[in-house]
Amino acid sequence: MQLDAVQNKIVRSRPLGISLLKGTSGSGKTTTAVYRALYLKNNYCLYNEDKILILAKDSINRDDIREKYNKIEDETKVDYKTLFSNNIDRVDVFTIGDIINRFYFEYTNSTKQWFKILQEDKEKNEIIAECTKFLKRKYGVSKILDNKYLDFLREEISWIKACGYDKIEDYQIADRIGRKAKKDFGPARFLKNSKEREIIFELLESYNHKLQSSSLIDYEDICSLALKRVQSAMGNKYTHILVDEAQVLTKTQIDFIKKLLISKTYSSITFIINKTEKVNSNSWFIKGRKLCNLDLGNKVKNYILSKTYIDKAEKKIIDMGKQKEINISMENFQYIDLKYHRTYDFKRDYNTIDEIFIVEGDKEESLKGDALKAVPVYSDIAAGEPIMINDEMESEFYLPQYWFKGIKDCFILKVKGDSMIGADIFDGDYVVIRKQSTAQKGDIVAVDLEGNATLKRLSYQNTNVVLMPENDKYEPIFIHDKQASVLGIAVGIIKNR
């Protein structure tokens, strides 16, 4: 199992609090995490109490990680050996369910309280139906309490509990991202600070009361009691935690994992997130939710594995019955300078992204080090209907310094949509944005439009500011009655060839 340069950089990076390792299926996230665990064991477990926890999604995932860990440990005995290395087994591998159940049972044994676990949706719906009868008498006719909405109400109660919202004020202002209700079986809109949320929260309290009076408990309560127990527990904690398939975690589970961490200057948590895996509605790591709402602290490091993991830099393929060898790690790009109307061809090896090759005919010029500028890359901006701004940095793109003469602060956004094809900006292109809050007529601008981002050409009609698409199938956006601010102007386009 040989790592590429990007993976090695992640493995050997200094542990600094909480980090996110993201990638698609097959991008080598789990393998990188296992190497990372071994590196941390031999370099950042300085005292006898220092231990490492690897959390898996399920037993199959857990057994796969254990097998990888044992194999990689044998292969890298020399590579990671340091002054702090010893033969003590410092690494535990459990499923998230294993460790939550352990602390839950510690709680019940210490309090002498035992519960019957409520698992069937049908049973939960029956209890919720009983609770709605009382609320209907209190609030009168309310569509939110319709019996057709029982599944929606059960899922909403589950979500509130999974988020750990025990105060109505928290629920009233919560961003309800990821909620989907079937037509006629749930509300089409669900506003913050609404009467509907007030009713649902009271329904939640009534539901919880019925569970407690019958010594019943659901899975969300198990997680909450495990969190309560780990907050008061002194031992059984870890210096470093790596969580595989973390996209399935709820807010309560994330809080529980954070409490498992021993607070030291070199302690760390790494959440490994599969960007292509579907998540349930209670999951907290979902697209559109900003990191500041995840309560992970101010310094969260993002790592991206953007390519399918390959053990070797080169692979052999069979072509027309002949064996040929090709380099599959090289990426070809074209940079269009919008300011000076110049075009450059360049390429890079994704294993060494901090070096690029400028291509002119048959000649190639290598640039690296101080000759390059590291430009942060953020996720989608809409060349179509505006989409939610995501302020997570996904990666960095190294480009020649001389392309940015006179440009101090810039960033890159990946384009989603086809509204700017008339300006040669297509879906999947990268747009280089010069960060500034003002723009002139005719500039292609990135605009924050009431919390959503869009890319359009700036224009004026009479006294009205208009964002003009470069595709006839889209309508202009008039922003005289909207809250809007310029994020920057487009100075370049990067096309993947």
pLDDT tens digits, 423-475: 999 988 999 999 998 999 999 999 888 777 788 999 988 878 899 999 988 88
Say if residues 383 and 428 touch (Cβ distance below 8 Å).
no
Q: Are strands 91-95 and 52-56 parallel, antiparallel or unpaired?
A: parallel
Return the pLDDT at 324. 37
Q: What are phi and psi of 313, to 5 degrees?
A: -70, -25
Say if residues 452 and 386 touch (Cβ distance below 8 Å).
yes
User: What's the CA gap between 423 and 400, in Å, rounded?
Assistant: 23
User: What's the CA gap between 261 and 239, in Å, rounded?
Assistant: 6
Q: Is the pLDDT of residue 481 over 90?
A: no
Residue for token pair 């009168």 = 140
Q: Is the pLDDT of residue 150 over 90?
A: yes
Please give the single-letter amino acid code of residue 311: D
Residue 311 pLDDT grade (very low, low, confident, very high; cuts 50, 70, 90)? very low
Return the pLDDT at 110. 92
User: What's the CA gap between 120 and 95, in Å, rounded?
Assistant: 23
Residue 79 pLDDT grade (very low, low, confident, very high; cuts 50, 70, 90)? low
User: What's the CA gap between 186 and 87, in Å, rounded?
Assistant: 57
Q: What residues form DSSP beta bridges with 396?
A: 376
Listed in sequence order, the residues at least 6 apart from 402 whose beta carbon sits closer than 8 Å to its beta carbon are: none
Q: Is the pLDDT of residue 83 over 60?
A: no
For the chain, give the mean pLDDT. 84
Comparing C-alpha atoms, which of 234, 250, 218, 225 is closest to residue 100? Answer: 225
Mean pLDDT of 162-187: 84
- The secondary structure of residue 351, as a DSSP letter, is G
Highest-confidence segment of 98-112, 175-189, 280-294: 98-112
Q: Is the pLDDT of residue 126 over 90?
A: yes
Q: How many residues does the chain have?
A: 497
Q: Are strands 17-23 and 268-274 parallel, antiparallel or unpaired?
A: parallel
| This model's pTM is above 0.75 | no
Please state, for a pLDDT cut of 90, what percent of the chain lies above it.
Answer: 49
Return the pLDDT at 377. 82
Range scoring the smallest mean pLDDT among 130-139, 212-221, 296-305: 296-305
Catalytic amino acids? 419, 456
Q: Is the pLDDT of residue 78 over 60?
A: no
Please give the single-letter amino acid code of residue 333: F
Say if residues 244 and 65 touch (Cβ distance below 8 Å).
yes
Let me know the angle formed at the C-alpha of 269 by 267 and 275, rounded to the nearest 5 degrees: 160
Residue 175 pLDDT grade (very low, low, confident, very high; cuts 50, 70, 90)? confident
Residue for token pair 């989409």 = 387
Say if residues 383 and 420 touch (Cβ distance below 8 Å).
yes
Return the pLDDT at 381. 64
Q: Which of the pair, 381 or 98, is modelled with greater confidence?
A: 98
Listed in sequence order, the residues at least 6 apart from 481 whose beta carbon sits closer than 8 Å to its beta carbon are: none
Q: Is the pLDDT of residue 133 over 60?
A: yes
Mean pLDDT of 7-34: 89
